Chains A and B, each alone.
Chain A
Amino acid sequence: MSEVQESHSGAVVPRAAERPGVPECELLRAMLRIRCVEETLADLYAEQEMRTPTHFSIGQEAVAVGVCAALRRADVIYSGHRCHAHYLAKGGSLLGMVGELYGREIGTARGRGGSVHLAQPEVGVIASSAILGQTLAVAVGSAWAFAMDHAPRIAVAFFGDGAVEEGIFHESLNFAALHRVPVLFVCENNLYSTHSGLAVRQPAGRSIYERVGAYGITTEHVDGNDVLAVRQAASRAADHCRSGKGPYFLECATYRWREHVGPLWDYDRGYRTKEEVEQWMARCPIKRLTEHCLARGLCTPADVEAWRQEFRREVDAAVATARRSPFPRPEAILEGTY
């Protein structure tokens, strides 16, 4: 696995050739890169060569990038089915991910795991899982182990508003609060669980983070499309966890642009409106930070364009390499079972 570079904050993004060391630019680059990867893959998805159900994070990049920017390399993260952005933001290998989607031997799981099971323990991406809520408990367990060892590490669980309805969510919060484990729960509330809105799934009148407060866990609501706000909140949360104060819960308001699974747009399918999608697209986290940076002269439009092209070349190269590289051998199908 190629060495990834660590930025000042601990988030792992390739360093900008232009404007190096400007924190906002690093965040912008990290989001641009993830967007570029996913849009490229979404375009290629129709070719039927990536034969793995894929949940794109397009529109939700700020949560992954903002949280991971507040982490250290030794911290660990867990994700769910929508894991691409988390994996990349924590420094997961791009070729490992693309190779996995193409079912190749160079994939992170050598083509045995697929899009929803990205992991790269060397950079702290321990596991992602397609079972709702499953890794919430696992993150609590890793954080518990850190607490037992008095290690200055934290564990993060990324999940959606849908996982909040699972029993394991409540068991995990209860245990984390009881043992004051250094776990950061990051709920990406994108308002939908597949095609069901929050109104048919959770009682009205009390938001998720408020309900979590009943466990005695410190909770916070943040605009999940404002990467600077997310990073700030996550830094507070990480400090809190690291200093032995127990778990922290961040609810991040954000929105998924594409269909639940797959590369298409689906505002014409009746469960949400085009207006709603467009409203959220107007609040694009990348657009927002770009405007912020340009207004303050932190970078120029030319820089941003150069970055886009840099990432486009990087993804294209990863796709080309993945496609050229061999599939796993059927004779090796049993490898890793034990």
Chain B
Amino acid sequence: MQRLKYWQAISQGLVQCMERDPAVIITGIGVDDFKGIFGTTRAAFERFGAARVIDIPNCENAFAGIAIGAAAMGKRPVVVHPRNDFMFLAFDQIMNLAAKWKYMYQAKRGVPVVFRGIVGRGWGQGATHSQSLQSVFAHFPGLHVAVPASPADAKGLLVAALREDTPAVLLENRALYELEGDVPEEPVPIPFGKARIVREGTDVTIVGASLMAYEAARAADLLAEHGISAEVIDPRSLRPLDTGTILESLRKTGRLIVADTSWAMYGFSAEVAALAAEHGHACLKAPVRRVTPLDCPAPVSRPLEEAFHPTPMTIVRACLDVLELTATTSRALADVQARFPGPY
């Protein structure tokens, strides 16, 4: 095992996949520039050059289709969006074509395009540059959708996506990019649809997607100081979703908190709550609670932004609520991005 930051794990995964498979190409606006998409595509560019790490014009819609057309002829394009919000312009190609290709044409093979979208967070990025689109993508049959929350997962899910024939959307939260963790040196795929138990516990289950898996683990630390044992589950992929692991945990704890980086209505948190209602109702000792951003576009001004995003403290409070406890916590936790210098 090696210690790598989240962005380094992605970078390494890309280079290793490109070494093994000449069909892999990296494409997107600025993938070849000196910043290399927060460092993730720089090493690949230095290694493989402009023939395989390809800067593109600003054409999100057409380019998603171009990647599909290249994939149909045997390429494995990775399409990088420095903000997942830009992918709205590519929705038609992703949802209306890539996701449906194998079914609608009953094709022998799907179109294996890997769409990487980075989720911005904080530092005033505002309404159009800090959304999390996982629930929208995960709504559509035919796609694989993952939200890696650790360096190992960021690499492993990417490797899996680049070996399978299903189009995949990988959403990477920018706030996780500096996170360090153990990462296998080899390109070992992590299968879609297999959740990770971040921490075992017995009193309450916290399912956290993307950055919220990390925040849930911090919340669990804090709860432990109060003698509360929280189990934290990172679903890793939202489509397919590892419902078994979530329900098994629920059977153990009887209490469920779902934390997401996107809105509650019609979102991932609603999906997991529905799962509990449909298949785990008998073991619920308390109502399910959702911890999500507030129901407005993301604001810019600092106090508003701080009020908007869920934090470990909001998760802690939700846990205390469902446990019917009123402990006042002894210490506050630094915001995940407190040390982020900006600008984005």
Contact = CB atoms under 8 A, between A and B. Distances in A.
Contacts of A136: 62, 65
Interface string B246-281: 000000000000000000000000000000000000
A286 to B, nearest CB: 30
Residues of B contacting A: mostly: helix
Contact of B65 (A117, A140, A338): A140
Nearest to A139: B69
Interface string A290-315: 00000000000000000000000000
For chain A, the bracket of interface size reads 35 or more
A197 interface: no
B74 interface: yes
A34 interface: no
B166 interface: yes
B102 A119 contact: no
B63 A144 contact: no
Given A121-B107, A145-B74, A138 B97 contact: yes
Contact of A113 (B62, B70, B73, B106): B106
A134 interface: yes
Contact of B57 (A119, A174, A337): A174
Given A178-B57, A337-B103, A168 B142 contact: no
Given A138-B66, A145-B75, A336-B106, A175 B56 contact: yes
B70 A171 contact: no
Interface string B82-93: 000000000011
B101 A127 contact: yes
B68 interface: yes
B107 A140 contact: no
**Quick one: which of B56, B61, B102, B108 has the most chain A CB within 10 A?**
B61
Interface string B52-80: 00001101011111111111111100000
Interface string A145-176: 11010000001000000000001100110110
Nearest to B239: A338
A110 interface: yes
A159 B73 CA distance: 21
A11 interface: no
B105 A145 contact: no
A338 B65 CA distance: 19
A108 B107 CA distance: 9
A148 B96 CA distance: 26
B49 interface: no
A135 interface: yes
A109 B102 contact: no
Contacts of B107: 119, 121, 336
A117 B64 contact: no
A337 B61 CA distance: 23
A137 to B, nearest CB: 3
A240 interface: no
B66 A131 contact: no
A113 B107 CA distance: 11
Contact of B63 (A109, A137, A155, A167): A137
Contacts of A178: 57
A57 interface: no
Contact of B72 (A112, A141, A175, A335): A141
A156 B173 CA distance: 39
A134 B62 CA distance: 8
Contacts of B75: 145, 148
Contacts of A172: 59, 62, 65-66
B27 to A, nearest CB: 10
Contact of B97 (A110, A131, A171): A131
B69 A144 contact: yes
Given A172-B62, A337-B142, A146 B73 contact: yes
Nearest to B71: A141
A134 B141 contact: no
A171 B102 contact: no
Contacts of B106: 108-110, 112-113, 335-336
A130 to B, nearest CB: 9
A175 B62 contact: yes
A152 to B, nearest CB: 14
Given A137-B63, A168-B61, A117 B104 contact: yes
Contacts of A131: 92, 96-97
Contacts of B104: 109, 112-113, 117
Given A121-B107, A131-B96, A140 B102 contact: no
Nearest to B74: A145
A129 interface: yes
A78 B96 CA distance: 16
B72 A142 contact: yes
Given A109-B104, A142-B70, A337-B102, A134 B57 contact: no
A126 interface: yes
A138 B68 contact: yes
A134 B70 contact: no
Contacts of A127: 72, 97, 101, 105
Contact of B70 (A112, A121, A141, A337): A141
Contact of A112 (B25, B62, B93, B103): B103
Contacts of A146: 73
Contacts of B57: 171, 174-175, 178
B96 A138 contact: no
Given A174-B57, A178-B57, A337-B102, A168 B73 contact: no
A304 B123 CA distance: 74
A174 B59 contact: yes
A129 B211 CA distance: 37
Interface of B: 25, 51, 56-57, 59, 61-75, 92-93, 96-97, 101-108, 110, 141-142, 166
Given A127-B72, A174-B59, 7 more contacts: A113-B104, A113-B106, A121-B72, A141-B66, A148-B75, A172-B66, A175-B63
13 contacts: A131-B96, A137-B93, A140-B69, A141-B65, A141-B70, A144-B66, A148-B75, A168-B61, A168-B65, A171-B63, A337-B103, A338-B102, A338-B110
Shortest 4 CB-CB distances between A and B: which pairs?
A141-B69, A137-B65, A171-B62, A141-B66
